[in-house]
């Protein structure tokens, strides 16, 4: 048995045991937490947090980079239910315009990527790091393409396929296990490839982009919303490094790279960069991170009061207090509070990084695989 087969079997078994025997259709976050295996939940939290001891020296960082696969696997086993509860089925940020409803802005961000990638009816498209498939379903409906989503988290794949079947899209769109550091599709399979806020989990962007390059047809396009530290970021500045660290620990990221590293990685993989644009502007009338600040003045739709209460500072405090109470009463598994604490770190780091313009979750790159390779 190869190492990869063994790892996959172990991860599949872990997910089956961790999430208990509740049907995959259950949507209530508290019910999902109650039905988790307490022992395994606590072991998953330990496994994830043992990597995060506050250190950012080279040895510690290399350890995190080496264990990227198990680390993000554990992270998403812990946070997926919270993400769905607080954010919905698309696990990404978006640009807001005045008057925007949250769900409309999220979908528009997906349409923009599909448009910039030039996805056409009938194209075979790969979604790299597909989450529970919110963007994939939307892009399939928007373009009428055929789409495969890959993900290294078995729990998310189950939920992605469940939602897709429910929406009657399962003939056009499906989700499989895979590691974007080792894509197993034959060379030149896809017309287009996209990734939304996923490849930031890679331990090495060049190796990840090279895998994408390999599976794209010559002339094919790769479009990505990359998470990067901007040109303003200075790794030797303690405050900046602390912000990046909060983003790393709270979002399951082995190491945040700079925009410069991402550009070089695309070029070194053989791509020709057609467009590069940071869609997050500091002077945007409505900042991308506002759902996490709970700035009520930006809310322009009645439905969004509920969504943004959950994601706001106050709403998070309320959720975290409830989680703490339920864990103390042993109603939900041990370790759940440590998960909400890590998510709080994420929110703080993201907002601070966004406000200071040190970080962007929407560095858009559109890159082409040349028709003739060197
Ligand atoms: C991790 C990466 C690369 C992308 C995910 C981006 C966002 C969808 C998440 C980043 C931080 C998350 C938090 C929540 C939802 C999803 C994020 C915004 C919550 C609002 C979910 C509900 C919890 O009670 C609080 C969370 C704070 C962080
Ligand atoms: C923040 S989520 C974004 C999901 C999706 N793109 C969306 O916008 O809803 C990041 C995704 O990348 C996946 N991921 C992380 N590391 C991966 C890897 N090595 N191979 C494949 N998928 C990975 C996670 O499991 C998760 O689904």
* ipTM score for this prediction: 0.99
Phi, psi of 147, deg, nearest 5? -135, 140
- Distance between CA atoms of 374 and 369, rounded to whole angstroms? 11
Ligand 2 pocket mutation pick from 131, 173, 185 by most atoms within 8 angstroms of CB: 131
Cβ 89 under 6 angstroms from ligand 2: no
Ligand 1 atom closest to the Cα of residue 198 is 3
Q: Ligand 1: which of 309, 337, 343 to mutate, most ligand atoms within 8 Å of CB?
A: 343
Burial (0-12, 13-18, 19+ Cβ within 10 Å), 128: buried
Q: Is the CB of 71 under 6 A from ligand 2?
A: no
Predicted local distance difference test score (pLDDT) of residue 268: 98
Nearest CA among 32, 45, 33, 41 for reference residue 14: 41
**Does ligand 2 come within 6 angstroms of the Cβ of 180?**
yes
C-alpha of residue 343 to centroid of ligand 1, in Å: 7
The whole-number pLDDT of residue 372 equals 87
CB 261 within 8 A of CB 227: no
CA distances from 64 to 14, 58, 60, 196, 356 (A): 21, 10, 6, 22, 26
Beta-strand pair 190-196/216-229: parallel
Pocket test for ligand 1, best of 311, 319, 321, 336 (most atoms within 8 A of CB): 311
From 346, 348, 352, 354, give the residue whose CB has the most ligand 1 atoms within 8 Å, as the site to mutate.
346
Show the tokens assigned to 124.
């075979």
Atom of ligand 2 nearest to the CA of 195: 6
Q: Is the CB of 150 within 6 Å of ligand 2?
A: yes
Task: Give pLDDT, residue 1.
Answer: 66
Whether the full predicted model's pTM is greater than 0.90, yes or no, is: yes
What pLDDT score does 99 carry? Answer: 87
* Atom 24 of ligand 2, nearest CA residue: 129
Verify whether ligand 1 is closer than 6 Å to residue 109 (CB atom).
no
Each residue's pLDDT expressed in tens, for the chain with a length of 374 residues: 678 899 999 999 999 999 877 777 888 888 888 888 889 999 999 999 988 888 888 899 999 999 999 999 999 999 999 999 999 999 999 999 988 999 999 999 999 999 999 999 999 999 999 999 999 999 999 999 999 999 999 999 999 999 999 999 999 999 999 999 999 999 999 999 999 999 999 999 999 999 999 999 999 999 999 999 999 999 999 999 999 999 999 999 999 999 999 999 999 999 999 999 999 987 899 999 999 997 888 887 888 887 888 898 888 999 999 999 999 999 988 889 999 999 999 999 999 999 999 999 999 999 999 998 77
Contacts (Cβ under 8 Å, ≥6 apart) of 37: 17, 18, 19, 20, 333
Per-residue pLDDT, 55: 84
- Asked if 129 contacts 253 with a C-beta cutoff of 8 angstroms, the reply is no
């Amino acid at each position: 048995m190869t190492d990869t087969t063994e790892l996959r079997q172990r991860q599949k078994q872990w997910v089956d045991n961790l999430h208990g025997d509740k049907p995959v259709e259950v949507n209530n976050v508290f019910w999902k937490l109650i039905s988790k295996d307490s022992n395994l939940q606590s072991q998953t939290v330990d496994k994830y947090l043992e990597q995060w001891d506050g250190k950012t020296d080279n040895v510690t960082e290399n350890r995190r980079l080496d264990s990227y696969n198990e680390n993000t696997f554990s992270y998403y086993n812990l946070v997926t239910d919270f993400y769905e509860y607080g954010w919905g089925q698309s696990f990404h940020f978006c640009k807001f315009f005045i008057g925007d409803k949250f769900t409309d802005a999220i979908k528009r961000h997906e349409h923009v990527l599909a448009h910039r990638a030039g996805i056409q009816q009938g194209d075979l498209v790969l979604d790299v790091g597909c989450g529970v498939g919110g963007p994939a379903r939307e892009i399939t409906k928007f373009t009428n393409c055929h789409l495969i989503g890959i993900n290294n988290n078995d729990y998310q794949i189950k939920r992605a396929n469940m939602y897709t079947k429910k929406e009657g899209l399962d003939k056009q769109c499906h989700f499989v296990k895979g590691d974007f550091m080792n894509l197993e599709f034959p060379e030149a399979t896809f017309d287009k490839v996209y990734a939304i806020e996923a490849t930031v989990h890679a331990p090495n962007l060049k190796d990840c982009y090279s895998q994408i390059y390999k599976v794209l047809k010559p002339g094919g396009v790769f479009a990505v919303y990359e998470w990067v530290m901007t040109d303003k970021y200075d790794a030797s500045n303690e405050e900046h490094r602390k912000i990046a660290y909060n983003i790393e620990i709270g979002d399951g990221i082995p190491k945040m790279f700079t925009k410069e590293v991402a550009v070089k990685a695309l070029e070194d993989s053989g791509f020709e960069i057609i467009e590069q644009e940071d869609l997050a502007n500091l002077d945007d009338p409505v900042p991308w991170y506002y759902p996490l600040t709970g700035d009520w003045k930006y809310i322009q739709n009645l439905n969004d009061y509920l969504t943004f209460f959950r994601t706001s500072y106050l709403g998070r405090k309320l959720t975290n207090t409830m989680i703490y109470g339920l864990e103390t009463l042993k109603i939900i598994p041990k370790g759940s509070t440590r998960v909400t604490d890590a998510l709080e770190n994420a929110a703080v780091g993201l907002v601070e990084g966004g406000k200071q313009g040190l970080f962007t979750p929407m560095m858009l790159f559109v890159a082409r695989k040349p028709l003739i390779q060197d």
